[in-house]
């Protein structure tokens, strides 16, 4: 009788197990996400590559695609039209588009200090903004609009008369600077400056940040619609991406190796130099990666408004959100 009872119990348990298995759901297909980069594949975007290679996107059930940028790529347009879900862009672009009624919102400031810097030859005697008077500066044009904005803001803040400075279009090849047709040129600390130093050039650096012009640089953004319709996806994407950037800071040599899988310029020395230049702009030591300060957003907004670059005023606090950075960090600054 006991054996029959045991057999009956086993049969019942087997039936429960089989019934439970029959009810199991197949794994959910991963969300396909397109990230529009600001430029070509290089160390500038290492944190995103790390998140992919270490499986952080996969862990969040995300299948990521990286879209390269370029001079002819309008990142804001790509994101707004749905050709990309997220974009790496300048905060200036986010603010200017907001002024036109375009619903873009910043999620994280990857570069918490702007990579824009002005350079002059070391033997030129040009070491501060006041030395720009009577000189030629390569800074004008849409190709490097953030440099022109910061240049004008710096001169105004310091009371330097712009009429005493000759400005010419920014040249991304830097030939005008190499040929002494410009005394000073704007450049990115993480790319153009790396190339100049590789040529053996000795340079003086003039940072707008050192003169009270505090701007973020590479900023991760999406649309208001994405935030309202898919907040869970935004949070998962942010968690994976920020972990990738944290790993990049903690082990940048590994990040260089990962970057070389993607980069067009597969030169370890160049990518390492770019990485070493980038890290102090991303990890400033103030708080966690990607964190944003309202005061800086208000300062950037005020600068653009003052220069007449915003089509109409708006509530700048609608141009960025700390919601997801706070959620993935438990509401605490790291």
Render pLDDT for 312-322 as a digit per residue (tens, 0 to 9): 999 999 999 99
pLDDT score for 272: 96
pLDDT score for 24: 63
Greater model confidence, 11 or 316: 316
| Mean pLDDT, residues 61-66 | 98
Burial of 117 (0-12, 13-18, 19+ CB in 10 A): buried
In this prediction, residue 156 has a pLDDT band, given cuts at 50, 70 and 90, of very high
How far apart CA 23 and CA 10 sit, in angstroms, is 20
Give the whole-number percent of the chain exceeding pLDDT 90.
85
pLDDT score for 23: 54
Contact 88, 217 (CB under 8 A): no
CB neighbours (10 Å) of residue 63?
13
pLDDT score for 62: 98
116-211 CATH fold:
D-Maltodextrin-Binding Protein; domain 2 (3.40.190)
How far apart CA 193 and CA 203 sit, in angstroms, is 9
In this prediction, residue 19 has a pLDDT band, given cuts at 50, 70 and 90, of very low
pLDDT score for 26: 72
pLDDT over 60 (residue 18): no
pLDDT score for 92: 94
In this prediction, residue 265 has a pLDDT band, given cuts at 50, 70 and 90, of confident
In this prediction, residue 70 has a pLDDT band, given cuts at 50, 70 and 90, of confident
Start-to-end CA distance of the chain, whole Å, equals 65
pLDDT over 70 (residue 22): no
Does domain 31-113+216-328 match CATH 3.30.1160.10? no
| Mean pLDDT, residues 41-47 | 96
Extract the tokens encoding 265: 């310029």
Classified as helix, coil or strand, 205 is strand
Beta strand spans in the chain (E):
31-36, 62-67, 86-89, 104-109, 116-121, 136-140, 166-169, 184-188, 203-206, 219-223
pLDDT in tens, 85-129: 999 999 999 999 999 999 999 999 999 999 999 999 999 999 999
Q: What is the 3-state secondary structure (H, E, C) of 127-184?
A: CCHHHHCCCEEEEECHHHHHHHHHHHHHHHHHCCCHHHCEEEECCCCCHHHHCCCCCE
How far apart CA 139 and CA 279 sit, in angstroms, is 25
What's the chain's average pLDDT? 91
Nearest to 176 by CA among 142, 135, 209, 122: 135
In this prediction, residue 287 has a pLDDT band, given cuts at 50, 70 and 90, of confident
| Mean pLDDT, residues 5-29 | 52
Strand duo 31-36 + 62-67: pairing: parallel
In this prediction, residue 3 has a pLDDT band, given cuts at 50, 70 and 90, of very low
Residues of the chain with CATH 3.40.190.10: 31-113+216-328, 116-211
pLDDT score for 264: 86
pLDDT score for 64: 98
pLDDT over 70 (residue 147): yes
pLDDT in tens, 169-218: 999 999 999 999 999 999 999 999 999 999 999 999 999 999 999 999 99
């Amino acid at each position: 009788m006991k054996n029959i009872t045991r057999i009956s119990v086993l049969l019942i348990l087997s039936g429960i197990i089989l019934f439970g298995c029959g009810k199991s759901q197949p794994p959910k297909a991963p969300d396909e996400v397109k990230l529009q980069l600001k430029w070509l594949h290089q160390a500038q975007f290492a944190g995103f590559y790390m998140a992919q290679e270490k499986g952080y996107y996969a862990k969040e059930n995300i299948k990521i695609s990286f879209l390269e940028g370029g001079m002819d790529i309008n990142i804001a347009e790509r994101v707004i039209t749905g050709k990309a879900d997220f974009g790496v862009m300048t905060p200036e672009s986010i603010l200017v588009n907001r002024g036109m009624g375009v619903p873009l919102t910043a999620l994280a400031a990857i570069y918490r200090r702007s990579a824009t810097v002005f350079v002059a030859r070391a033997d030129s005697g040009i070491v501060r903004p006041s030395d720009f008077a009577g000189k030629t500066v390569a800074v004008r044009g849409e190709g490097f609009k953030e440099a022109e904005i910061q240049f004008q803001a710096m001169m105004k803040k310091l009371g330097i008369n712009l009429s005493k400075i000759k400005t010419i279009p920014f040249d991304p090849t830097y030939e005008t600077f190499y040929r002494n047709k410009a005394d000073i040129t704007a450049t990115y600390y993480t790319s153009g400056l790396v190339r100049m130093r590789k040529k053996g050039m000795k340079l003086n650096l003039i940072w707008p940040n050192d003169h009270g012009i505090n701007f973020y640089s590479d900023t991760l953004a999406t649309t208001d619609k994405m935030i309202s319709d898919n907040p869970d996806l935004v949070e998962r994407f942010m968690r994976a991406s920020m972990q990738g950037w944290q790993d990049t800071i903690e082990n940048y040599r590994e990040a260089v190796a990962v970057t070389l899988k993607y980069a067009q310029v597969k030169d370890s020395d160049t990518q390492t130099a770019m990485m070493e230049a980038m890290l102090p702009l991303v990890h400033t030591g103030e708080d966690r990666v990607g964190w944003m300060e309202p005061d800086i957003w208000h300062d950037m907004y005020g600068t653009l408004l003052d220069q007449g670059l915003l089509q109409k005023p708006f509530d700048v606090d609608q141009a960025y959100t700390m919601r997801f950075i706070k959620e993935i960090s438990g509401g605490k600054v790291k």
